[in-house]
Structure 1
Amino acid sequence: MSELVHFGIIVSSHSFINELHKGTNMNFSFRQVEIFKAIMITGTVTGASLFLGTSQPTVSRELAQFESSIGMRLFERNKGRLKPTRQGTALYSEVLKSYEGLERVKAAANFIRLGIREKLNIISLPVLSQTILPTSFMRFIERYPDINISLTTRDSPAIENMIASQGFDIGVIEGITPPSGTSIEQVMDIDEVCILPPNHPLISESCIDIHLLRDYSFVHLGPNDPYRYQLDRIFSDHGISRSSIIEVDNAAAICRMVLKGLGISIINPLVARSYVPQGLVLRKLSVTVPFNVSIVRPLSLGTSLVADYLVDCIRQTAAEMRLETLYDLQS
């Protein structure tokens, strides 16, 4: 069935519409359609005027002009009430369909405004995707259960290249320096911790002096890792040499090796805390080794309420994990 779109109204090509349309200009306004709809709902000119917040003469005049423009009588007058004609009833059915379409447009506009139809593209370091993001996503999905999220994890320097491409909505990284073309917000500032296997002699220390570590084997990240560079400099500045070093490429492997008694280490507390139930012991250090987590967002992208809410969730989760870590280190 073909349809005629005129002033936002979808008019089906029923035979009587075609006949009436012949030789008729059909120049009407959306306001007149609103008045027609209000009369159909209330049954009287008075009711329609109250419904629309306008005067009765205005309703009567606009209805007469509407009927004249479309070449149809839409109502029979009977004792102050308006009874729709067959044509009026048929047209009202089409008007309702048109309004349903407008409501869908409104809903779609609202979804787009909120970002619900977006797929949020998140990039993250693997360590942060395994620690901060799961709880953050859980919070987010409680409000937006139908949202699509794409999470890509990369180590440094690959993640810097992805950030430079601007092909993401939110990045979760370590450090406080904004990559080119991004804004940055620090969401966690805490120190790295010393991790020990069960029954290690240093467990009795609530805060481990850096000099006490000279007698123990170490499991470290590789020499190109920025945190390894910081630690090497700290040990060098204090004149401390380490006896045996095992190098691995991720903090989770370090935790597992420390649990096996292959050495001790200094790593970020987020990964370390996840191994405490298995017996890993965390202790503060007498020196500061900063561990910072930040959110980056491309400057080229506009705002999105949905993306903003996910940032709120990440911010809240990071703050809670920081407090939980500090509490664990004090107890």
Structure 2
Amino acid sequence: MTNEPVLQINHLQKKFGHFEALKNITFDVHAGEVFGFIGPNGAGKSTTIRVLLGLIRATDGNATIFGQDVWSNSVAIHRRLAYVPGDVYLWPNLTGGEIIDLLLKVNGTQHSSRTDELIKQFGLDPTKKARTYSKGNRQKVALIAAFSQDADFYIFDEPTSGLDPLNERQFQMAVLNLKQQGKAVLLSSHILSEVERMCDRIAIIREGTIIETGSLAEMRHLTRTVINVTLKTPLDLTQLAGVHNVEAGQHPNEWQFSVEAKSLPAVMAALTEHHIMALQSTPPTLEDLFMHYYTTEKE
């Protein structure tokens, strides 16, 4: 990764009248990185992206892409950028293939063997008119056009809405291919499994505020590890500090429980004293982390 971020956002704010859609957004995205931007609908993801695309102007703070201001240099930035929204609207009387070619031409690119390969991978019939397409097929048109381009920065805003699991997988493979080429990717999504599988770092947004940024490994200290254990001798797990949700298993001295990260060494030492027969640990997922923020922090 280069030291200079492809995208840099500093204390970005956006007000619509008295409503603060974005309160204080700060994060950056580097070349060769897939950055996940997650939060529920209405949290401010799409508003942030509209600012980055130069569609609306920030109230305060600043954002740059390729070192250029996103509002005053939007035309120059767009030459090196590819964008796919969550709701794609197409010209109804053009075929999918014609629209792909048009989108490529507008971006100074031509239909290539890569385009044909993508059409095949995503299973799109390019001869049908856009008015006959389902939502998923409209998404495919935009994704094929985006992946056909040799952009330096790719912005995806809920890009897989409407896609079946097979095409979601094709999308993930195409994004990881961009990463290997050293491209920068910003992926806004509420599909947590998708983000967890693909992203190097994550920002969680809630009500217009970034509440955590980092890699999943860095964030995992905030949630609990689930342990399944079978011991040789009895142990009252409810007496151990940092242990929660203790449930008995099907066999004697078999237990399932969750444990806070800071208590894990002491708990493992206590289990060892009672002779571990079998043990399985499950690290916290992105969904666990997400729910941690949207339940415990909101209470």
TM-score, structure 1 as length reference: 0.21
Normalized per residue, the structure richer in helix is: 1
Q: Which has the larger radius of gyration?
A: 1
